[in-house]
Structure 1
Amino acid sequence: MPPLSPDGPGATPAAVRAPSVVTALRSAGCVFPEDEAELILSTARTPDEAATMVSRRAAGVPLEHVLGWAEFHGLRVTLEPGVFVPRRRTEFLVDEAVALAPGASLVVDLCCGSGAVGAALAAALGGPELHACDIDPAAVRCARRNVAPFDGRVHQGDLFSALPGVLRGRVDLLAANVPYVPTGEVGLLPAEARDHEPLTALDGGADGLDLVRRVAAEGPRWLARGGCLLVETGEHQAAAAVGIFTDAGLTARQAVPEEGWAHVVVGVKP
């Protein structure tokens, strides 16, 4: 990585200048070095912190982990190292959920990761009762910080076993951004995901639909009548996921934006 500052007489070793940051990030292979440099320099509190952030990013750490936050659906979501980074395509799941159930009063964010989906739903819906859960302790810590402004509660455990039993049969909106990468394809993911995000947030089993099956099998028992379940899938899994939802007794369909960059399966409890 090129040095971040000149070492000549009078130079401050910790000084970090925008052009040198851009050069360092470009040399490390970052696709948008100017944008990333601006984010790093606006987030860092000191030149030394900026230099450390640039070094971590150049070493392949996801930008969001370097910054300590990610932008999602208009919110700044706090992130810790090792926590799944919310993808911008998942904003479509939030939009679909809000359009389907604008009056939802009880929302559950299953496999919540950082809690980005739950926080975004709470913000868009005007403060429903919000519960979120994840199996990963680091994710639960992050989610608690991110849903706190909405009085959300976060539970640690495996899917529905983590939720309070009192919610059964009452959930208006159940968002489950489950892992859906087939096990054999995890190794093909970008190194940023492969090396820095938990395997439990990526690996969806042999065909990528193991967690979709589990959520569909139990989800209807937690939904209120007319309640909605939404999951994100890959393009080639969506039709199978619709079948899984239908077999579970839900009225199911696939939702895709015009640009085709996201695939969400929606199920409604009759």
Structure 2
Amino acid sequence: MSLRRRQRLGKYRIECRLSDSDFATVYRAHDTIEGIDVALKLPHAALVDRATLAAFRKEARTAARLDHPNILTIKTAEEIDGHFVIVTPLGVEDLGTRMQRRMSATTALDLAEQLLQGLAEAHEQKVIHLDVKPQNAILFPRGRLRLADFGIARVALRTLVGSGSGTVGYIAPEQALGQPSMRSDVFSAGLVIWQLMTKQLPKWPFDWPHPGVARARREFGDDLAAVCRRATEVREHRRFADAGRMLVAFERARTRSGL
């Protein structure tokens, strides 16, 4: 059921619908108590049962310990007026929308580096994201990127797999087989960064060279292209072990590129 503009949901007043996915609808809403606008994510009712709600609460508590400028915090995750609602700060747009417009090489690398910084912090805390993609990277004023849906992604993907839905474009091969690890997040991040640099998304079987390799080398240099190549190796043992190690390699390659 869609919510209408100006409909009330607890203390929140619906302003407009922002997006729809297989799993949830996201609304812009006004918090009438705090006086601020927020994002409300409402999982589709048909996909939410008692076990899923319990899993959401557990994962939300896990995500709450991730305190980093490049990770989107969950303000609350609870039932409101018969709807399960995940409340987060409201961004300007997601990375997928931003990538539809021109951006400089420096901007692309700034966004890529912030994505890796948020993911590296999560991996340091032993938290795997499992759904790194442009739509889960939310942009805020002054160029701040925050990676969203930590914890929530784990439940969402499990629920969608059970329903036969879900997008697999950024999922590592071993994750699709039910054996994810931090290296799976590295793979997904590598695809996002490659898309940032080249405007092209590699597809299965992910053979090298990826589409757009000439552009990547010309505009960003061989070293940054090599970082993405290693991150997106089909055989997971050939990838970076976690996002922290990938971040170190990325920063070194960026320094050598002069960008």
TM-score over 0.5 for the pair: no
Question: Higher RCO, 1 or 2 (CA under 8 Å, sep at least 6)?
Answer: 2
Higher Cα Rg, which structure? 1
* TM-score normalized by the length of structure 1: 0.27
